[in-house]
């Protein structure tokens, strides 16, 4: 098997207002760490408008690409509009698709950004403009590369955009473990939802995850897994209400990769969320994802 990780320098190039909560610098730091440790890194391609409008409403896509979103839409997104925002978003979506295609051929693909699961059909939300997970899943399905995709979303925030976009779908299945009382306030139904109580620690979380994965494979027959590995489940996260330890985050990632291998399925993974003013502490948590992937896929 041949592991690949997709990245683009624009991931950390966006200019945000002072004291903005989104930790842009972590992507450059992750790239530096992965490069230093000899991980196989490839530049991410840009997604096309055609790929995006298979999932998102065309008028919304064109308004976003052309800088025509109104003030309410920009406020809901949480990022100011700029040409760099669009370039960064297109590269992030393209990287998740590239990682998915690579996984289908070689077993596992990853990228350094991605996991923008709050993006809905006709609006962006929570720092998510276009939903890279669903766009990648839809592209792989439309290209005949697979027949059913399972999105395993383990960010502390429910993937409301993914749930809404895939409601009633039989070829893209959404599974979400998330903080019951966290953002978003309105949580559309995923195919499988597991709302978790505030303060849940490692053992209870990992037991729930094991049961959730078992249930998913009892009900569905996916031939590709897309894994959103947000580290905002950690006990020190400033926007998360769960209480996983460093080791708990690593065990979670290991469990998902082991599940994919047990079922003989390709898996593409993205780092997802993580929020601390002192963002350097996020790097070892995110590195768990890449380290556990390299242990299994080389």
What pLDDT, in 10s, does the model give residues 163-217? 999 999 999 999 999 999 999 989 999 999 999 999 999 999 999 999 999 999 9
Give the lowest-confidence range in 1-10, 138-147, 280-289. 1-10
Buried residues in 75-101 as b, exposed as e (16+ CB within 10 A): eebbbebeeebbebbbbbbbbbbbbbb
Mean pLDDT of 122-148: 97
**How far apart are alpha carbons 266 and 238 in whole angstroms?**
33
* Residue 126: both structure tokens together: 């929570």
Q: Rounding to the nearest 10 degrees, give the CA dihedral for residues 117, 275, 267, 261.
A: -130
Range of the domain at 26: 4-297
The answer on pLDDT for 19 being more than 90 is: no
Q: For the segment 39-78, what is each residue's pLDDT rounded down to a tens digit?
A: 999 999 999 999 999 999 999 999 999 999 999 999 999 9
- Domain of 118, CATH number, reads 3.40.800.20
DSSP letters spanning 144-193: TS-S-EEEEE-SSS--HHHHHHTTT-SSEEEEEEEETTSSPSS-PPPSEE
Q: Rounding to the nearest 10 degrees, give the CA dihedral for residues 281, 284, 287, 288.
A: -120
**How far apart are alpha carbons 193 and 162 in whole angstroms?**
12
Write the CB contacts of 184 (distance below 8 Å, at least 6 apart in sequence): 118, 125, 126, 157, 158, 160
Domain count, the chain: 1
pTM equals: 0.97
């Amino acid at each position: 098997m041949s592991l690949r990780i997709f990245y683009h320098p624009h991931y950390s190039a966006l200019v945000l207002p002072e004291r903005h909560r989104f930790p842009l610098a972590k992507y450059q730091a992750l790239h530096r760490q992965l490069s230093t440790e000899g991980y196989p890194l490839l530049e991410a391609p840009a997604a096309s408008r055609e790929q995006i409008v298979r999932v998102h409403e065309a008028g919304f896509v064109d308004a976003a690409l052309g800088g025509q979103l109104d003030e309410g839409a920009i406020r809901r997104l949480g990022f100011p509009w700029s040409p760099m925002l669009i370039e960064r978003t297109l590269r992030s979506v393209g990287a998740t698709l590239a990682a998915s295609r690579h996984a289908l051929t070689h077993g596992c693909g990853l990228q350094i950004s991605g996991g923008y699961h709050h993006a809905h059909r006709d609006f962006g939300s929570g720092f998510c403009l276009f939903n890279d997970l669903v766009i990648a899943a839809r592209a792989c399905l439309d290209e005949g590369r697979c027949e059913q995709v399972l999105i395993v979303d383990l960010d502390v925030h429910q993937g409301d955009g993914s749930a809404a976009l895939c409601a009633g779908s039989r070829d893209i299945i959404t599974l979400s473990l998330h903080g019951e009382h966290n953002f978003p306030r309105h949580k559309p139904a995923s195919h499988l939802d597991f709302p978790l109580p505030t303060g849940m620690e490692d053992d209870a979380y990992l037991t729930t995850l094991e049961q959730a994965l078992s249930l998913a494979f009892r009900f569905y027959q996916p031939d590709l897994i897309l894994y959103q590995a947000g580290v905002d489940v950690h006990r020190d996260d400033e926007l998360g209400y769960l209480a996983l330890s460093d080791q708990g985050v690593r065990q979670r990632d290991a469990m998902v990769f082991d599940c994919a291998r047990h079922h003989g399925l390709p898996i593409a993974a993205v780092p997802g969320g993580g929020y601390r003013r002192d963002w350097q502490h996020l790097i070892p948590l995110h590195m768990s994802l890449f380290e556990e992937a390299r242990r299994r896929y080389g």
